[in-house]
Amino acid sequence: QVQLVESGGGLVQAGGSLRLSCAASGRTFSSYAMGWFRQAPGKEREFVAAISWSGGSTYYKDSVKGRFTISRDNAENTVYLQMNSLKPEDTAVYYCAARYGHYSNYAAQYNYWGQGTQVTVSS
């Protein structure tokens, strides 16, 4: 069982930065691949970024490549999403998720989810 708690969301102007954190409970955090997803009002939840259990491999949605960076600290049971050059279209509730094994860009393949944190980017 893994419990996830996101933090770090907020209101920022276009071009600004935010760093999201996701703290995980459990002693087997390092066995889980982690992902960040987002959901804007009226839209389906979409993949943003994922990272392997070791942190050695990462995968990004095309529209965030070069702007967002996913990382993890297995000693601290935490995964991060550094978001730079934010755009109004990045506005959404951001969720972190965990799955045992290889990382994935499919939400249905993740077993555990956090409650989400709101990110709002003003123009």
What pLDDT digit, counting tens, does each position of 80-107 carry? 999 999 999 999 999 999 999 899 999 9
> How many Å apart are CA 37 and CA 100, to the nearest integer?
17
- Cα angle, residue 36 at apex, residues 33 and 40 outer, rounded to 5°: 155
Rounded distance between C-alpha atoms, residue 81 and residue 90, angstroms? 13
What tens digit of pLDDT does each residue of 13-24 get?
999 999 999 999
> What is the tens place of the pLDDT at every residue in 35-89?
999 999 999 999 999 999 999 999 999 999 999 999 999 999 999 999 999 999 9
Strand partners, 8: none
